[in-house]
Amino acid sequence: MSKFKVLIVDDESLARKLLNEHASKMPQLEVVAQCKTALEAQAVLLNHHIDILLLDIQMPDLTGLEFLRTLRNQPATILTTAYVEYAVDAYDLEVVDYLLKPIVFERFFRAVSRAMGRNSRQIDAQATVNLPSVEPKNSRESLFVKTDQRLVQVNYSDIRYIEGLREYVRIHTTQDQLIVLQSLSRLLDALPKEKFARIHRSYIINLEYIDSIVGNMVYLDDTELPISKGQREAFLNLINRDRLF
């Protein structure tokens, strides 16, 4: 089986060692090189095909984010850092995941699995990696968003709808509202397709909270939201998967 080629870039030797140990537990991966700087990594990328880039942010000479901005053909990139404040910049650079140090194997595994999926390969992770049979609480049932300098975990089931506000979005949950520096399209990509739908250039809704649809309006309890002409057909096809109307 062809393996996914991995490049580790981190100026800390212990961090490189830990990432290499995590990668060695996954037979699908082959670590091609370990680099201390972005300049070393650039040389590797010029001479090797890399599928997955494990990249630290705070490094001498050139930061991980600065390095990413120089790449024309960016591998599936996972940022590894001890700092949460770079999360928004990471999303803008379309990274696969953002891992906070110290990085545990379970979190590493999930991030790398997403990276392998981005490379359009079919994998059977449970058959090749010996993981605990019980998944952590809320795995695949939530996402993290940055608001007011905090990373907040939001359960999918708590999101009623999401409203686009130019470069920001407002997430309307069952408890409150969160303002997040993120595009609506980027956020939609992170949400499960079977639970959420875009009904308008300014709105994403959680299908579970639909009370009714009347004409070009969707009603979520006391909230009335418009369905745009461009989104109407795809939206109706999505909710009519069983062809009952």
Cα separation values, 236 from 25, 130, 157, 163, 207, Å: 44, 41, 21, 20, 11
SS3 6: strand
pLDDT in tens, 97-152: 888 888 999 999 988 998 888 764 433 433 334 434 334 443 458 888 888 767 88
Same domain, 93 and 175: no
Strand order through the sheet with 76-81: 29-35, 4-9, 52-56, 76-81, 97-100
Domain of 218, CATH number, reads 2.40.50.1020
Domain of 20, CATH number, reads 3.40.50.2300
Residue 134 is assigned to a structural domain of this protein: no
Largest separation between any pair of C-alpha atoms in the chain: 61
Strand order through the sheet with 159-165: 177-181, 168-173, 159-165, 203-206, 196-200
Same domain, 122 and 152: no
What is the value of pTM for the model shown?
Answer: 0.52
pLDDT in tens, 85-105: 766 666 667 788 888 888 999
Q: Beta strand pairing status for 159-165 and 168-173?
A: antiparallel
Query: Locate tokens 């049979």: which residue?
Result: 133
